Chain A
Amino acid sequence: MIAYDVVYVRADSVDEAVTAWQQAHADGLKPAYLSGGTELLTAARENRNRPDVLVDLKRIGALRSVTESEGTLRVGACVTLTEVVEDGRFGLLSRAAGGIADRSVRNSITIGGNVCGMLPYREALLPFLVADGSATVAGPDGTRSETLEQLFSKRLLLKPGELLVSLSVPSALLRAACWYRRRERDARVDYPLLTLCALAAPGGRRMAVSGAFAYPLRDRPAEAALNGNGSPGERAAAFVAGLPNAIRSDMRAGAGYRRALLLRAVEDAIIELEAGS
């Protein structure tokens, strides 16, 4: 429940949404785009986030579908996780999305909400990171599409008032060999200690990780180690050593354990991707 007075705007088009956001902002109010609402509503109940105006994107048809054309698969920002799991065209995304929360919540959580949220995990982004994904965003200055390499660093680099329209990947990579693992503290329905998405692209193996760090991470320089020589264990160790980031320690697990999970996952991924190729 949102206990304070909030304004709700149901946008029918991306333009309407952007305009509504700008209008609220100009009025000195704090607007927020609303998608599945699973994060916004829980945060607002605890006053961790108190937007004044909610601009609901869910009924914008253009954001509600998964389409494939001209060699690109495009996932609309308001497609729910259950829908992408069942769509199945992007196998790695289906698996990563299916690992998040529980099914009833996945019926509400959207791709856009997951990748734009404040949690460190944002697991639905990982498949796009390893598959050279791009994002289309719309804002006061119009619509632009950029690769995640440009648009993502720790978080999506949206300008004020911009919203995510869709995420896309080249169709060519949809069928590339991939590997997924998620590890929790104990119960399956929990935030991940580690989620690893790996992909064997023609140019080499890539990996993106959630849970181990304070944000989803794909580090291209470190990936060189994955494709080098040495046993899978040695390569895994070199890859992890090459990551420039500190491994997280929190109430769920210590950094040592997370590191062990990560090392093993990377090693297993290398072994299995090699066996598959």
Chain B
Amino acid sequence: MKRYQGVSEIELHINGRPRRVTIRPGDTLLRTLRETLGLVGTKMGCENGDCGACTVLLDGVPIKSCITLTLDAEGRDVTTIEGLSDSPIQRAFIESYGFQCGFCTPGMILNAHALLQSNPSPGAETVRSWMESNLCRCTGYEPIENAIRMAAGIDSRE
């Protein structure tokens, strides 16, 4: 049994590197990433689990970091957008104009990246069931769909 009260220091594993951080038990992973670690690529759009802007990967699985305690990440691998640099999905987002304002983009990309890692050539229904976790207000989703198809090597124009 482990008990945390008040301020404590814990070790997280973020983007392949250990990071020691000072936290309170009530801190969410989103707040720790942005406010303590300065990893501001993870966005806060609702803090309610609804928009997906805060999506990060925990052991490769996309989760919404606004409704995840930092303590839940202890001992697990956290991947944030800062941990991807030139992945196929990032290139495809640029080539397919898969973003406008860019606020949803880190979350979208991490979710799509995890999808393609687990299923390199997903069918349309699988893509939908993953990507509907993230809201985008700007693009109407069409170019995001194209980006995923491009990264998966599926011909993007029918």
Contacts and interface: CB of A to CB of B under 8 A. Distances in A.
Contacts of A20: 1
Nearest to A7: B5
Main SS class of interface, B: mixed
Top 10 closest A-B pairs, CB basis?
A2-B26, A8-B25, A104-B133, A102-B133, A10-B2, A8-B4, A6-B26, A41-B67, A7-B5, A104-B62
Contact of A103 (B26, B30, B130): B130
Interface string A89-131: 0000000001001111101100000000000000000000000
Interface magnitude class on chain A:
35 or more
Contacts of A38: 49, 67
Contacts, number: 102
B106 interface: no
A8 B55 contact: no
B28 interface: yes
Given A10-B1, A188-B132, A5 B64 contact: no
Given A2-B27, A5-B26, A42-B49, 7 more contacts: A7-B5, A7-B25, A8-B5, A37-B69, A54-B69, A102-B132, A105-B64
A197 to B, nearest CB: 20
Main SS class of interface, A: mixed
Given A1-B27, A8-B25, A42-B48, A37 B68 contact: yes
Interface string A25-58: 0000000001001100110110000000010101
Nearest to B5: A7
A41 B63 CA distance: 14
Interface of B: 1-6, 24-28, 30-31, 47-49, 52, 55, 61-64, 66-69, 71-72, 111, 129-130, 132-134
B34 to A, nearest CB: 11
Nearest to A9: B3
A12 interface: yes
A11 interface: yes
Nearest to A54: B25
Contacts of B3: 7-10
